[in-house]
Amino acid sequence: MIAKTMTGKVWVLQTEKGNLIEDIDTDQIFHNAYLHITDLDQMAPYALGNLEGWKDFSQKAGPGDILIAGRNFGAGSSRQQAVDCFAALKMGLLIAPSFGAIYFRNAVNSGFPVMRSLGLPAWIASGGMITGDEITVDFQTGELINRSRETLFSLDPMSGVQMDILRAGGLFAYAKELNSR
């Protein structure tokens, strides 16, 4: 069972100029050289291991941390490991303006929290959030409170079905719940 809010430290995937990194594909998230790894616990060291400037991310990130990225995060293949590597790191949430459609569906089906907001790049550019800030996100309302800067921001709230799948621990567990009613 997952709470309706989450608090964690933020990692903002930005370029040297401060722009959110866009179009991060699943090969940058989890390189195809490691697709033979099927044990979730062994996937963690390879998260973002093929993204220039972020190859040491898995050594820095901690449980409950929140990753912020640019539009079209998870573009490309239907590589489930690109979702699972963040679960293996025990990351708390991924936020981006948009996700690759398959990536978003894989995350939801796996019971991994993902949220969107088209206004995110402008808010980041205005100094609304930087790496290291602590934020609290309400999954149902979309309210994001930056505790480090005492600012508010709105994300798209999770749908009822997304919340149900998240609470159940994934799509298969959710389907079992539905069948037992």
Helical spans, DSSP H, in 10-95: 26-29, 40-43, 57-60, 81-88
Q: How far apart are CA 13 and CA 54, in angstroms?
A: 8
Name the residue range of residue 161's domain. Answer: 5-179
| Backbone conformation region of residue 18, classed left if phi is above 0, alpha if psi is from -120 to 50, else beta | left
What is the chain's Cα-based Rg? Answer: 16
Q: What is the dihedral of CA 35, 41, 174, 82, to 10 degrees?
A: -40
What is the chain's pLDDT, residue by residue, as a tens digit (181 residues)? 567 999 999 999 999 888 999 999 999 999 999 999 999 989 999 999 999 999 999 999 999 999 999 999 999 888 999 999 999 999 999 999 999 999 999 999 999 999 999 999 999 999 999 999 999 999 999 999 999 999 999 999 999 999 999 999 999 999 998 888 7
Per-residue confidence (pLDDT) for residue 73, from 0 to 100: 98
pLDDT on residue 77: 82
What is the structure's pLDDT at 118?
96
> What's the number of CA atoms in the CB half-sphere (13 Å) around residue 41?
0
What is the pLDDT, as a whole number, of residue 160? 95
3-class SS of residue 33 = helix
Please give the pLDDT value at position 66.
Answer: 98
Residue 180: per-residue pLDDT? 85
DSSP 34: G
| CATH number, position 135 | 3.20.19.10
Report d(CA 54, CA 28) in Å as an integer: 10
State CA 131 to chain mean position distance: 14
pLDDT of residue 139: 97
Tally of structural domains, the chain: 1
Q: What is the pTM of this model?
A: 0.96
- The Cα–Cα gap between 139 and 108 comes to 13
Going by C-alpha positions, the residue among 145, 177, 146, 148 that lies closest to residue 161 is 177
